Amino acid sequence: MDDSAPKTVDLRAEYENSGVREVLEELDREMIGLAPVKQRIRETAALLLVEKARKSLGLSHETPTLHMSFTGNPGTGKTTVALKMAGLLHRLGYVRKGHLVSVTRDDLVGQYIGHTAPKTKDVLKKAMGGVLFIDEAYYLYRPDNERDYGQEAIEILLQIMENNRDDLVVILAGYADRMDKFFESNPGFRSRIAHHIDFPDYADTELHRIATHMLDEQSYILTEGAKAALTDYIALRRGQPHFANARSIRNALDRARLRQANRLFSANAGPLDARALSTIEESDIRASRVFKGGLDGERTGDKP
What residues make contact with another protein under the rule CB under 8 A?
A: 96-97, 99, 121, 124-126, 128-130, 164, 167-168
Q: How far is the CB of 121 from another protein (least distance, A)?
A: 8
Residues 6+ apart with CB under 8 A from 288: 233, 252, 255, 256
Q: How many residues does the chain have?
A: 304
- State the amino acid at position 164 in one-letter form: N
Q: How far is the CB of 45 from another protein (least distance, A)?
A: 23
Complex with another protein: residue 40 or 96, whichever CB lies closer:
96
Nearer to another protein, 86 or 287 (CB): 86
Q: Quick one: 159 or 262, whose CB is closer to another protein?
A: 159
213 phi and psi angles, rounded to 5 deg: -60, -45
Name the minimum Å distance from CB 126 to another protein.
5
Identity of the residue, 115 or 247, whose beta carbon is nearer to another protein in the bound complex: 115
| Least distance (Å) between residue 129 CB and another protein | 3
Q: How near is the Cβ of 83 to another protein at its closest, in Å? A: 15
- Closest CB 98 distance from another protein, rounded Å: 9
